[in-house]
Structure formats: structure tokens, C-alpha cells
Structure 1
Amino acid sequence: MGQQTTEVEPEPEQRAEMDIDPTLSKESKRQREGTGNIGAFGKRTGSSDLRFFEGILPEIDGEILSDHSIEEQFSTALDNLEAALADNRNATFGDVMKLEIQLTDPSATEAIDHVYESRFDDVELPPRTVVGVCSLPGGADVQLDVIAAEE
């Protein structure tokens, strides 16, 4: 299967770092381009068919839903993941290989279990890790990092 890639210009400080370090291979330099970005978007590394989505938050139109319940926040983050997957070659929850859920209150794991199971109801549940964190951007209580495979 052919792969589409988009050239990303590195940030000036990254370009300087890459120019200074002659030991980096061309492939290594290419993989490091654009890594200063944050937010929910997919990245491919090397020539693999894996996509990495990072920093998926419970936000709508740029507003973090920090005053909503953990179930609502998690459901919204999953909505955002679903949209990000669809934007990347029409991927679906069935393409998710690994899900990391970052929670400001790890005891909320049970509260999000039913949302997790209902949203992945028609596919095999992907492996997941729940990580407790001190804080998240915008006062969110949940954030997702995801690995998906292109089929």
C-alpha cells in the first residue's frame, strides 16, 4: 500500500539542532521534523503503518469541557479521537491498537469503563493504560494518547 506523506518544515530551533548534529541520519532528521507540535493529530514515523495521536482533550470549538463530568469529558475526547481517525484515511475505532488514558483522578477509571466499553462495542477492545497525572491543559480531567494502524 502506498503512503502519503506531507513535508513539514522544522521549527528554526529544530533546524539549527539538526544542522548542528551531523550524526543524525536523513531518516532520523525527517522523523524529527515537526515534533514541536502539540494537540490531537496523527503522525506517522518512518515507513510504518502506525499513526500516533497525542493530546486528545475533551474540547469543543477550542473550549475544554473542564466543568463537565468525567464520563462526558471522556466521551467528548473519544468523539475527537473518532474525528481525528476519520481524517486519517477514514480510520475507525477498529484501527486503534493502544489507548493511553490520562486521568487527574485515577479512581475515576471505573466511571469511564462503561463509556469505553460502549464506544468500542462493535470492535475488540484495544489494550489500554490508565495513567494518573497531576494536571492537564485547560483544567481537563482526561486526555488520550492513541496508536492506530492503517489497514
Structure 2
Amino acid sequence: MKEIISTDDAPAAVGAYSQATATDDLVFTAGQIPLTPDGDMLDGAAIDVQTEQALENLEAVLTEAGVGMDDVLKVTVYLEDIDDFEAMNTTYESFFETEPPARSAVGVDELPKGAGVEIEAIAAK
């Protein structure tokens, strides 16, 4: 059975989607962008700051689902500029210091609300 995950500790969905959905075994998050829970978009900030906010949002959603960053199995990172990979990766590493999950990083033309990064995850319950 599908469970809808929602928390005020991450930005509200800006469209027809849930912050995350879960089954008995897995949690699937929506992509998290550098939007604060208060609605401030950090699109003008450096990519490391944007990455940190996106990962803080991701962590808040996972916490609401009853799991943590250590439970993440797979992450997909979308970068508006693939040249930002190294700066994103430095910040990303601080959230997954041991046994990091599998990850894909993809360069894209555009992200919602002018974001430089969007991050989604699948976690084990």
C-alpha cells in the first residue's frame, strides 16, 4: 500500500506531486531543489549552498518517512551546469560520509524555479 509522506520541515510541493511516497520497504522522494521550507529560493547562491539546501530538504523528508540518510540506496542529482559537479560533490560527500549510496549525476538544460541542482532519492525502510 502506498503511503504519502509530507513534512513542514521541507518545502511544500509546488505541483501535483508528493514530497515522498513509501511502501512497506521503500521510500521514493520527489526531487528537492534549493527552496527553503519558508519559500525562499536560493537560485542565485553558489552551487554548494544550493546543494546543501536541497540535501537538507531531502533529509527532512526522509526523517518524516522514518528513515535517514544512511538508509538511502540510490540518489539522482540533476545539475543545470555539469561543470558544477565538483562543487556539488564536495557538499554531497558531507551528507554521505560512510557507505554512500549509488548515484547518478545528470546535466540538464533547465530545472524548476531556476535551480542549479535537484536531488531525489530512494531509501530502504
Give the distance between the partners of 1:107 and 1:98, measured in 2 at CA. Answer: 22
Give the conservation status (yes or no) of the 8 Å contact 1:103–1:133.
Answer: yes
Give the distance between the partners of 1:59 and 1:87, measured in 2 at CA. Answer: 18
Specify the SS of the correspondent of 1:129: strand
Computing the radius of gyration from Cα coordinates, the structure with the larger value is 1
- The alignment's TM-score, normalised by the length of structure 1, stands at 0.69
C-alpha change, 1:113 and 1:44, in structure 2 (3 Å) is same
- The alignment's TM-score, normalised by the length of structure 2, stands at 0.83
Corresponding residue number in structure 2 for 1:98: 74
Corresponding residue number in structure 2 for 1:127: 102
The yes-or-no answer on 1:43 pairing with 2:21 is yes
Corresponding residue number in structure 1 for 2:41: 64
C-alpha change, 1:138 and 1:94, in structure 2 (3 Å) is same
Q: CA deviation at 1:4?
A: 8.1
Percent identical pairs in the alignment equals 39
Give the distance between the partners of 1:64 and 1:104, measured in 2 at CA. Answer: 15
Give the distance between the partners of 1:131 and 1:82, measured in 2 at CA. Answer: 21
The yes-or-no answer on 1:85 pairing with 2:62 is yes
Give the conservation status (yes or no) of the 8 Å contact 1:99–1:127.
Answer: yes
Q: CA deviation at 1:128?
A: 0.6
The yes-or-no answer on 1:142 pairing with 2:117 is yes
Q: When you count helix as a share of all residues, which structure comes out higher?
A: 1
Specify the SS of the correspondent of 2:94: helix
Aligned residues: 114
CA displacement, residues 68-103 of structure 1 (integer Å, 9 cap, x when unaligned): 0000000000000111011112x1110100000000
Q: Please report the RMSD computed on the Cα atoms of aligned residues, expressed in angstroms.
A: 1.9
CA displacement, residues 23-63 of structure 1 (integer Å, 9 cap, x when unaligned): xxxxxxxxxxxxx8336x11125xx5111101211111122
Give the conservation status (yes or no) of the 8 Å contact 2:52–2:91.
Answer: yes
Gaps of 5+ in 2: 5-14
C-alpha change, 1:73 and 1:5, in structure 2 (3 Å) is closer
Q: CA deviation at 1:5?
A: 3.9
